[in-house]
Amino acid sequence: MADSSTVTIRLSSHVKEQLAELADRTRRSRSFLAAEAISAYVERELSIIEKVERGRADVRAGRTTPHDEVMREARTIIEAARTRQ
């Protein structure tokens, strides 16, 4: 079993009741479900932050395309698709 530690959190009564219902219906413990939810949230948020930081680094390094240029190319592609129909 992986190393673990205890964390105390506050939940609204409604969320606590929903968690208890989910635990009952899935035959899992509330602790297991909460840990899974927090783990998924943290992983997702860290991934988002990494992507934002990578994007900022691209901007600083000049690895971007100006908005007007992208829109011009998009309009050209859309117009070409329309004329093929």
Q: Is the pLDDT of residue 12 over 70?
A: yes
Supply angle C-alpha 75, 76, 81, rounded to 5.
95
Residue 44 exposure: Cα atoms within 13 Å on the Cβ side: 6
> What pTM, to 2 d.p., does this model score?
0.74
User: In the prediction, which pLDDT does 50 show?
Assistant: 98
Contacts 24+ apart (CB under 8 A), 35-38: 35/4
Q: What average pLDDT does range 10-37 have in this prediction?
A: 98
28-66 pLDDT per residue, tens = 999 999 999 999 999 999 999 999 999 999 999 999 999
Helix (H, G, I), strand (E, B) or coil at 28: coil
Q: What average pLDDT does range 56-83 have in this prediction?
A: 97
